[in-house]
Amino acid sequence: MDLYPPPLIRDCLIHIFAFLTEEDLITASSVCQMCLQRWSFCNLAVLGSEHVNHSWKRYFLQRCHLEMKMTAGRSGGYTCKSLRGHAGRVVGLVYLQGNSAQSPDLWNSRATVCSASTDGTVRAWDIQNGELLWCSPVQSPLTAIIVDERREVVITADSTGLIKTWQGESGQEGASFATGSPLGSLLQYNINNNWFLTVGTSQGSVCTLADSALTKKSSVMVCDSFKVNTLLVSRDKKWITAGTKDKDDLSPKVIYTESLTSPSEDEDPLCQSLPVTGCQAAVFIPTQPARLALIHNGLHNNKALTVFDVSIKKTKYKSEIQVQQVESFPLTLNTRSSQVLLEAADSNCLVLAAGQGLYVYSLKGALIANFKEHTMSISSISVDSFRVVTASQDLSLRVLTWGKDRDHGLTLESQYHLLGGSHTMSRRFTHVACDYSSITASAEGKDGKDVLKAYSFTS
């Protein structure tokens, strides 16, 4: 007997359902409702194409099985591949192709990760098979890598300030643009199907480029003579936040995106400083149009976290930026670490890493959870709707998963460690990134040649 008989086409199903009673229809849709209740979506596209179809029941069971493996982290529930080839330090890694946590394709779990190194190359990897897909020609040491929103183009910057684009599928070199000075950050975004790249320079300015040719659109001074290493775009794409972590008495700024992408010769860029100094970390809340959370200098040399809503007020004669404080509270992190990492999990949950500690705060300032499970400082974090992964200098990854408590709402539960190999060969983890069914991290090699560790969970 065929375990998975050929599915009926939708017209046939609709015809059959027309004969069912209300009670029977409710029973028939129960698995779909279970998917909706558990994962807050009901997208028919995840069930397959016109040629390959799967039932809601099979999808539900397969995804539950995958999440069980990702939550348990037991040997045999995942494979680990060591990806070797770089002859220098890995400065960043990004998922070019991966499985979305919002609507994962459980029947096609291939993932492609691109890494950039001080050896001057970009490399693309099939992490399930541990294979190198392509490698770029050698250039000056690379300093940064990002992927565009459509996950089609990889963008890199090198130590001379040269920006290049690479076709993700083939590795073919695209356009290039020379900024003339080392860069602090890269930010890509699309507005009305128009492609833009904003870069922060070491001289304190932000330069905006457009389209596949990297045509220069504007340059705006943000923090004169200090590196722009904070660069974010709001969810509604109307605002850019730019600033430096290198000067305690400087304030980050919000810039109206239109001033960068469509500058006017007759008007100055619409830009305003935020009423805080010494910004050490920042994030736009992903579920809000333009809500910004920042960690900055507080009272008595302590850190504080402040949340702002950013909007624009237009009149007949002028436009003004309005910055409204939503919340502000002190942070008691009990750490001397200078590096603070900040991510947003949803509209009311912030994840913060400092030193060996991981902290979860509500936007009201309530400490929801805190963990201190690494023996050395956390160097990188990855946050999505299913889990949080921390990478540490102790050469381990810690995996934590989100849950829901009836009384307290969203909770974070610690699950297990993933080890990065022998301390005789590697020093620490430096970067981590995830898709729904895999985790990839870079381990610093003692011989100067970093290695990627790819952990793939299967359904």
- Confidence label for 40 from pLDDT (cuts 50, 70 and 90): low
Rounded mean pLDDT, 136-145: 96
Between 28 and 349, name the one with better pLDDT.
Answer: 349
Among 13-17, 62-66, 182-186, 341-345, which stretch is predicted with the lowest mean pLDDT? 13-17
Contact (Cβ atoms closer than 8 angstroms) between residue 111 and residue 97: yes
- Give the mean pLDDT of the chain: 88
Rounded mean pLDDT, 337-342: 84
**Tens digits of per-residue pLDDT, 151-162?**
899 999 999 999
Q: Which two tokens stand for residue 212?
A: 């596949």
257: phi then psi, degrees, rounded to nearest 5: -55, -35
CA atoms within 13 A on the CB side of 50: 1
pTM: 0.88
Name the DSSP class of 45: G
Using the predicted structure, report yes or no on whether residue 7 has a pLDDT greater than 50.
no
Q: What percent of the chain has pLDDT over 70?
A: 89
Q: What is the structure's pLDDT at 230?
A: 95
- Confidence label for 345 from pLDDT (cuts 50, 70 and 90): confident
For 244-248, the CB contacts below 8 A with 24+ separation are 244/184, 244/204, 244/279, 245/279, 245/280, 247/223, 247/278, 248/277, 248/278, 248/297
